[in-house]
Every structure is written in C-alpha cells, then in structure tokens.
Structure 1
Amino acid sequence: MAQQIELTNTVKDSQLGQRLDQAVAELFADFSRSRIKEWLLAGKIQVDGEVITKPRVKVMGGEVIIVQAELEDEERWEAQDIPLDIVYEDEDLLVINKPIGFVVHPGAGTPDGTVLNALLFHYPDIAEVPRAGIVHRLDKDTTGLMVVAKTVPAQTRLVRALQKRKITREYEAIAIGKMTAGGKVDQPIGRHSTKRTLMAVAPMGKPAVTHYRVAEHFREHTRIRLRLESGRTHQIRVHMSYLQHPLLGDTAYGGRARIPKEASEEVTEMIRGFQRQALHAVMLRFDHPVTGETMEFHAPVPDDMVAITEALREDARDNHSEDDY
C-alpha cells in the first residue's frame, strides 16, 4: 500500500534565482531529484498555495513549499536474505558495518543484492520508512559505519541532523603522495561535465567541506583521517583528487599505483593489487533521534587496509632516508 506524505519547507533566501526543481530537491534532500521532478510534473507540489508544474520556474526566496504525494517505490524492492554486520540496534535505529563490495541502494546496474534489500528481509516493517530507513550512503567499495532508521520519525530526525551537520563521520584513508600537514577542503561538488558517473569540483555544484589530518607518513603515501561536514557523492574521493592526493586504489579519480623507489617485490605487488579506494568509515557519532543520548561507534579498519598499511610502514622503515620526509 502506498504511503501518503505531506512535507512543508520554506525556500531559503540563499536560493534566490534557483530553478524550482533544484530548490525543492535541496529542501527535501531525502528524496531523489528524479522523484522531485516527477512530483512537480504530476502537480503534487504547491508554491505559496498554488500548484506549479514547471520545473524551470525561478524561486525568489521565502516561498512556502508543500509536497503532497505518495511513496510507492519501496513496494518494488525485493527482500533478500543477505547478512548484515550489526554494530548496534534498538527499536528506533541500527548501526551497521558495511563490507567491501556491498552497494547500499538499488540503482542502474544493481537492481538488488544491496543493503536496502537486506534491511527489508531482516526488518519487514522498514518498508514503511522512506528509502527503507537509509539516512546516508557509502560507496560500494568504501567500508565502515552507517546508521539506519527503523521508523519514520527516527529517519526524519536523523536526516535533519545530517543536514544540520550534527552527525559526525570520521574516515581512515590512504592517500597517494607525501602530505605534509592537515587542512580543510571547501570546494563545491557537482556532476562531472563529461563522465556522468563521476563527480568533480564544480563552481555551480553543492557546497562541500572535508577536514583532514595526517596520521602517518610513508615514502610515497600518507595515512590520513578525514571528517565530513557535508555528505556529497564521492566527496572524500573528489576532494583528495582535487588536492592531487587521490586515494590509493581509486583509479576513477586518478589514484594510479605509485611504487616507492627500490620497494620490495611484495610491497610492489600489494600496491598494484589494491583494487578499491582505501577508505573506511571508522567513527560515527550522533544524538539518538528519540532519547537525545549522544552515541558514538567505531569500526575496526578492515584487513585489506591493515595489510597495506603494515606493508607501507615496513617499506618506509626499511628504506628510510632524510629525503623521504
């Protein structure tokens, strides 16, 4: 049975001049742009009490947007018996540790076999929650912590907390090159102009801020910790590539293998054989959406990243010179 929803929000002054579909998509970020556009064209969205069906209409700021629509997509998703690594669970939410190669949400090329399909199997009632309770995503080959809401109120509050930057997410990564110090990347991110499956730093993109600090130096790589203020698609990968320090294994964003001089055959093979971005969501902290209690979770760095870190550390120790640092 389709779920009836009614959403209300006010266009921000900072959105002056935006297209209506873009403005509404930002105001109701829990729903995809394509779904927002469908609702617009179907007359499901009111602007100051008037139904508007033209996505290209410009907003001025201050308009009251009301969405009255139905959620039906969830019914088409299949429940599948796929194991989940559950770190924490209560009646309102769960925190999972996502392994490598696990897509979060069905989409083009991945119709099933996702975290969402697993959630529907283990928690059938979660079908009543938009996106089966998924609050934020991790890329297929990024490992680590995700929070999932089990009820509509919990999801609404967690999504709002995420938008207000009240959910802290910290990542461990290995970047290519010698990074001397930490810092902040404050660069907007949008769809890549020619490679439509990738993102890029783009002047007209959405605001994105990534903080990073150096945790350990190797000869041609650096282990770093990162903290997100925003949550754009591929954000860390894009921002590190922008700094010309793409992540180890991230060939999509320029992370081609870099072999230290005179590295052992074993280290060389490990670097060349690392086939995914070296990125792990290691810490998650938020206030519980119902009790208000501050909760913090940690996920151990996965074996593949531990192994490559130890190999790079040993290589640096065995080949140390003053020129390396």
Structure 2
Amino acid sequence: MKHAKILTGTVKESQCGQRLDYTLAKMFPDYSRSQIKTWILAGLVWVNELVKVIPKTKMLGGECIKIQALIDEEPCWEAQAIPLNIVYEDEALLIINKPRNQVVHPGAGNTDGTMLNALLYYIPSIIAVPRAGIVHRLDKDTTGLIVVAKNVTAQTRLIESLQAHEITRKYEAIVIGTMTANGTVEQPIARHTIKRKQMVTHSLGKPAVTHYRIMEQFRAHTRLILCLETGRTHQIRVHMAHLNHPIVGDPLYGKRPRLSKYASKALNDVLCRFDRQALHSTFLRLYHPITSIPMEWYAPMPQDMVTLIAALKEDTKQLKESRYCL
C-alpha cells in the first residue's frame, strides 16, 4: 500500500547550478535520489508550480518546491525490551555501542530483535521519527558506535552533517595478509547482479572512498584503522576484499579459515572459532545537532577481537623468537 504525502520547501541560494534531483535529495534526506527521480518523471514534482521538469533541470535558487510523494506505508514494528548499551544520551541524540549479532533495522528475514525494536521500547515517542531516528547503520555482525536522533530536527541535521563529511567514523579491522603501506580505496560500489545480498566494486556504482592506516603487522595478518568518506553498504568489507586483503571471518567477502602449518595451534584455534567479520566501529566525532558543540566517543574493542589480536601477537612473537634462535 502507498499513501500520498505532500512535501514542500524552498531551494537555497547556495544550491544554484545543481540538478533538480540532486537538490531535492539534499532537501528531503529521508528519500533516496532514485526515489525522487521517479517522482519527477511521474510528474509529481512542481517547481514554482511548473510540473514539466526533468531530473537534470538546473536550479537558480529560491524556487518553491512541491512534491506529491507516493510513499510505501511503514510496517508497524513492535517495541521489544532488548538491552541497549548506551554510551551517551541527551535530549537530542543517543550514541549506542552495538553488539555483534544484532540487526539495526528490520528487513526481510529479520522482523524483530533489531535495534529499532529496542529503540521503540526505550523511547516510545521515537516512532514519530523516520527509521526510529537511526542516522546510519552497521552490519549485523559489525560491532561499535552508532548514532540515533531522538527527534526529526536532530535527525535532519545529523544526516546533513553525514552528507557533508562532517561526521568522522573510524573503524578497526583485522585483515588477511601483511599490508606494507597506508592508502585509500576509491572504488564505486554497486549491488551484485546475481548474488543480491552482496555488493561489488563496479564503475557504474555509487562513489565510495575508504582511507586505511596500518596499526600493527603480524605474521600473516594486519590490524588497520579505517576512516570512511562515504557510507555505502558493506563498504569497508568490499574495499578490503578488492585489495585482496579481506577481513578475517567475513562470511561474504572473505576466505574460509584454513589451518596454517606455519601458525601456532593457539592461533589456528582462534581463527577457526572466529565466526564474524573482525570489524569494529571504534571512534565517532560529530557536531551536536542542536548546540553545534564538537563531541567525540570511543568504544573499546570487543572481547572476541581482543582475543584474536592477543593470539596474533603471540604467534608473531614466537616467529621472531624462532628466527632469533637460528
């Protein structure tokens, strides 16, 4: 079922020269650019009461916009008493340290037990905020910091900050192979044409930029700190696989764990038991959506990654000692 919703707004002078579809995606961040383009082509968008416009129509600034949006009705999600590890909370936002094995937003095959269900129980009024205030997402088995807005104003400003690259998100990861230099991956990402749950680097995909820096090198693995410029689905996982250094334990883009005759038994045991991508959202910096005060948070490494790093360090230590003895 779809229902009609009237959206109105005025194009900013600073948006002069921009395409109509791009401008509207910035004005109404709750809707994707492709959805807005569909409305334009369907004749559901008015610019200064003129309906004969196309997606690439250039804006001058000051235009009055009206959209008769056709929107899928949101399912009625259930509030559930699921614990939330709240790192920070005030009247405008929540910072949550997400555990592994938790989906952020309900979807096919995951209709409950999600962070959204937990938010509806913890703050019933957040049902009035699109996506229950969720500003960005983490994959089911990626741990760490995530931002939630408690009202529409805060959510809109945080989404604008995210799009303007004003929110810093840093991740730690353990990847397969020994990397020798810091770098940046600039590879567009698109959905796989056959395996619909997977993403791939593709020239026709959406722009995606990931910066990475080496924190620690082991015998056959590397610990990285990564910073996102964009936030595409599975971005870090896809980009690391593109470099032929997939994240340890990644079930979609990684390699199945194999015993190495060169590694210690303790390390092989830990690697075989590690059943998720070794990826953690460790650092978050943003300007508060109401006060504009700069704020930052840090989430320590979860225990499974701590155990993995300890095993990698011990294995590397044994390698160095054996070489020294020789």
Residue 319 of structure 1 aligns to a residue whose secondary structure is helix
Change (3 A) 1:31 1:106: farther
For residues 3 and 269 of structure 1, the distance between their equivalents in structure 2, rounded to whole angstroms, comes to 56
Of the candidates 50, 56, 59, which is equivalent to residue 56 of structure 2?
Answer: 59
Residue 30 of structure 2 aligns to a residue whose secondary structure is coil
**Deviation at 1:39?**
5.6
The letter for the 2-side match of 1:238 is V
Tell me the residue number matched to 1:224: 224
**For residues 97-108 of structure 1, what are the structure 2 equivalents within 5 Å?**
97-108=97-108
Residue 140 of structure 2 aligns to a residue whose secondary structure is coil
Tell me the residue number matched to 1:270: 270
Tell me the residue number matched to 1:180: 180
For residues 14 and 205 of structure 1, the distance between their equivalents in structure 2, rounded to whole angstroms, comes to 21
Tell me the residue number matched to 2:287: 287
Tell me the residue number matched to 2:94: 94
Change (3 A) 1:148 1:5: farther
Please tell me whether the aligned partners of residues 133 and 149 of structure 2 are also in contact (alpha carbons under 8 angstroms): yes
Tell me the residue number matched to 2:248: 248
1:159 aligns with 2:154: no
In structure 1, list runs of 5 or more residues that go unmatched: none
**Deviation at 1:33?**
6.8
Please say which structure displays the higher CA radius of gyration.
2
Tell me the residue number matched to 1:122: 122
Please tell me whether the aligned partners of residues 136 and 147 of structure 1 are also in contact (alpha carbons under 8 angstroms): yes
TM-score, length-scaled by structure 2: 0.86
The letter for the 1-side match of 2:56 is V
**For residues 31-50 of structure 1, what are the structure 2 equivalents within 5 Å?**
31-32=31-32, 36=36, 44-47=44-47, 49-50=49-50
Please tell me whether the aligned partners of residues 74 and 130 of structure 1 are also in contact (alpha carbons under 8 angstroms): no
The letter for the 2-side match of 1:78 is E
**Deviation at 1:13?**
5.6
Tell me the residue number matched to 2:145: 145
The letter for the 1-side match of 2:296 is E
**For residues 297-316 of structure 1, what are the structure 2 equivalents within 5 Å?**
297-316=297-316
1:238 aligns with 2:235: no
For residues 123 and 38 of structure 2, the distance between their equivalents in structure 1, rounded to whole angstroms, comes to 29
Please tell me whether the aligned partners of residues 6 and 67 of structure 2 are also in contact (alpha carbons under 8 angstroms): no
In structure 2, list runs of 5 or more residues that go unmatched: none
For residues 19 and 203 of structure 2, the distance between their equivalents in structure 1, rounded to whole angstroms, comes to 15
Length, aligned pairs only:
316
For residues 204 and 9 of structure 1, the distance between their equivalents in structure 2, rounded to whole angstroms, comes to 29
**Deviation at 1:29?**
4.4
Q: CA RMSD in A?
A: 3.0
Deviations 1:6-53 (A, max 9, x none): 45558886769xxx6x98667644335786578668865335534479
Q: Which one is further off, 61-70 or 243-252?
A: 61-70
TM-score, length-scaled by structure 1: 0.86
Residue 179 of structure 2 aligns to a residue whose secondary structure is coil
Tell me the residue number matched to 1:112: 112
